[in-house]
A and B are shown apart, each in its own frame.
Chain A
């Protein structure tokens, strides 16, 4: 037991002597929260678009001003040729071309029907989807507004429409920060766990200190605990620090118990640290360890539901998330922070993470050996 303390003391001495460590621990969470939570959002503003208005009527001008008045669209070009307007796609000066044909207003008044074309640059599929939604919403609103104005009747009477009223639970304003901050905290804790721990052990191999250490009475278990515990402590500290920042600076709700989050994180960190240890058993340099850790980290991150909803993935990918510790942790984290879920609600997640931790650590400990064949 005392030996572990001695190793821990040595590890902390080295960790805090490392010039890169303090900035990583204190500035990384601040920067990540500040930048990512503000930048990683699905809201698109300032969509540049061009208009080909062949109608030149009151209707067409009103429609265009409807777009510009939303604040989401910026009109960059007015032209009379479709190909000229589409040139803007290639130059990347516009994302949307609105083609208003001749007799747009006339047809509408005569037949109550009119056509127009919206061409969207779909290089970025998800952005295109969002632009499409905005566009069709605006046109719909415009159409119903026109109806009211021209017929003098309330729109509900003109055509039977089912009005859907929305209500967004747990994040009523659909604030992306509320959604992103828990995810970013998960990423933060994972990075500390996978990278720092794995690299730390491999460093002993790379520099050769493991040779000296292996010819001492230090037991395998003591060494592993002494190596992993500092990063477990740093990870937990990092999360607590990040949650405090999120709560006070980003006003992210904390409906559940922060201690429950720390308990989940404690188990989750065991999984991640086990992974780091496992990687360190079959790599000899920090570079190798870094690449392998990145490989897993990127897959786990992108498929873990932090940035894209798991529900939008294909079935096979959704099944795979069952084995993705990041997915379990980020789900539990959002449940507790945003919905106020209690221990009972996340018990299943805890079991899964716990089982994962046992498997991962057992694997890693078996593979780690002091004597070579």
Chain B
């Protein structure tokens, strides 16, 4: 049995299609990532899976329960962490946790094992109001509250958005540990670099899935040689390469331009030669391995 099963699910808000005919399955103990920019439909999908929103067509099952008919059963067994901090700002860390434990009919002590690693970091601040915590702390508290009833599956909607890089790494480390304890996790993120931390990912764009696979498989499907190019003046280089007849794709990536060529078996030297002919200075051209973002861009282009 799949832990989460989504079949041809569609959701419209008036004229805009937020989620467009999406299907996928998540198995027991998987860490599944929904990756895509803002407006890709990640939150809408999560809200449907957590029974807050009804789909227009298609169906989905969580733990074998239908999200429309058996929503009450689902609510007992899932943990949900909305994108926006949704705990009581005027209650302390401890009070928030206690409240969510009690309404699920459990206690902090009963499931302390599950949250121990995270809660230890929060313990020094347990009397502090949730509203007065830093972003990283808020996120840890939210995770604790989503875990306190020992859910079978966790839905984390953009948990790392607006969190500093150190806390982000910490957070993924926590997710890895939770996964080891057998909890199935669905996580959404707009950060492509987080894709490689998931077992499998669904790349999403405008309500559709572009590709659903392991990060490795998605990357291995990127067949073309990829080059990272930089020079003194990136802007004019970009303009020139855009005008180049052999150019296939070009995207700026931090300090480099990621470039693919229309010709097969094109070498670094050939590209180098062309760029030198443009009177550019301090040129570097190197052959690189594609990352998820390159794949995302390529998939976007195809669609």
Q: Which of A6, A18, A210, A215 contacts B102 (CB 8 A)?
A: A6
User: B86 an interface residue at 8 Å Cβ cutoff?
Assistant: yes
Residues in B with CB closer than 8 Å to A373 are 54
Stretch at the interface among A9-17, A139-147, A311-319, A340-348: A9-17
User: B91 an interface residue at 8 Å Cβ cutoff?
Assistant: yes
Interface 1/0 per residue, A1-30 and B, CB below 8 Å: 011001100100110011000000000000
User: B274 an interface residue at 8 Å Cβ cutoff?
Assistant: no
User: B88 an interface residue at 8 Å Cβ cutoff?
Assistant: yes
Q: Which of B71, B84, B86, B91 contacts A13 (CB 8 A)?
A: B91
User: B50 an interface residue at 8 Å Cβ cutoff?
Assistant: yes
User: B226 an interface residue at 8 Å Cβ cutoff?
Assistant: no
A214 to B100 alpha-carbon distance, docked (Å) = 12
Per the 8 Å Cβ criterion, residues 204-219 of A in contact with B are 207-212, 214-218
Q: How far is the CB of B107 from chain A (nearest CB, A)?
A: 11
Q: How far is the CB of A15 from chain B (nearest CB, A)?
A: 10
Interface 1/0 per residue, A335-373 and B, CB below 8 Å: 000000000000000000000000000000000001111
Q: How far is the CB of A163 from chain B (nearest CB, A)?
A: 67
Residues of chain A at interface, number, CB under 8 A: 24
Q: How far is the CB of A210 from chain B (nearest CB, A)?
A: 8
B100 closest partner in A (C-beta): A216
- Are B82 and A14 in contact (CB-based, < 8 A)? no
Per the 8 Å Cβ criterion, residues 53-101 of A in contact with B are none
Residues in B with CB closer than 8 Å to A371 are 51-54, 71
Residues in B with CB closer than 8 Å to A14 are 88, 90-91
- Are A3 and B80 in contact (CB-based, < 8 A)? no
Q: Which of A2, A10, A212 contacts B145 (CB 8 A)?
A: A212
B155 closest partner in A (C-beta): A215
Asked, given contacts A18-B90, A207-B89, whether A6 binds B51 with beta carbons under 8 Å apart, the answer is no
- Are B91 and A212 in contact (CB-based, < 8 A)? no
Q: Which of A207, A218, A370 contacts B103 (CB 8 A)?
A: A218
Asked, given contacts A3-B103, A372-B54, whether A212 binds B87 with beta carbons under 8 Å apart, the answer is yes
- Are A214 and B52 in contact (CB-based, < 8 A)? yes
- Are B87 and A6 in contact (CB-based, < 8 A)? no
Q: Which of B75, B84, B90, B95 contacts A216 (CB 8 A)?
A: B75
Residues in B with CB closer than 8 Å to A18 are 90
- Are A217 and B82 in contact (CB-based, < 8 A)? no
Q: Which of B78, B89, B91, B95 contacts A215 (CB 8 A)?
A: B78
Per the 8 Å Cβ criterion, residues 100-144 of B in contact with A are 100, 102-105
User: B247 an interface residue at 8 Å Cβ cutoff?
Assistant: no
A211 to B88 alpha-carbon distance, docked (Å) = 12
- Are B88 and A215 in contact (CB-based, < 8 A)? no
Q: Which of A10, A212, A217 contacts B86 (CB 8 A)?
A: A212
Interface 1/0 per residue, B56-88 and A, CB below 8 Å: 000000000000000110011010101011111
Per the 8 Å Cβ criterion, residues 189-229 of A in contact with B are 207-212, 214-218
Residues in B with CB closer than 8 Å to A212 are 80, 82, 86-87, 100, 145
Residues in B with CB closer than 8 Å to A3 are 102-103, 105
Q: Which of A7, A10, A372 contacts B91 (CB 8 A)?
A: A10
- Are A215 and B80 in contact (CB-based, < 8 A)? yes
Q: How far is the CB of A37 from chain B (nearest CB, A)?
A: 35
Residues in B with CB closer than 8 Å to A214 are 52
Asked, given contacts A6-B99, A10-B91, whether A208 binds B52 with beta carbons under 8 Å apart, the answer is no
Q: How far is the CB of B38 from chain A (nearest CB, A)?
A: 17
Residues in B with CB closer than 8 Å to A209 are 86-88
- Are A216 and B87 in contact (CB-based, < 8 A)? no
- Are A207 and B86 in contact (CB-based, < 8 A)? yes
B95 closest partner in A (C-beta): A13
Residues in B with CB closer than 8 Å to A10 are 88, 91, 95, 99
- Are B82 and A208 in contact (CB-based, < 8 A)? yes
A214 to B46 alpha-carbon distance, docked (Å) = 13
- Extra contacts, 14 of them, besides A211-B82, A212-B80 (Cβ < 8 A), are A6-B103, A7-B103, A13-B91, A14-B90, A18-B90, A211-B52, A212-B86, A215-B80, A216-B75, A217-B76, A217-B104, A371-B52, A371-B54, A371-B71
7 closest A-B pairs by beta carbon, nearest first, are A212-B86, A6-B102, A215-B80, A208-B86, A211-B82, A208-B84, A215-B50
A–B pairs, 22, beta carbons within 8 Å: A2-B102, A3-B102, A7-B103, A10-B99, A13-B91, A14-B91, A17-B90, A208-B85, A208-B86, A209-B86, A211-B52, A211-B80, A212-B80, A212-B100, A212-B145, A215-B51, A215-B78, A217-B75, A217-B105, A370-B52, A371-B71, A372-B54
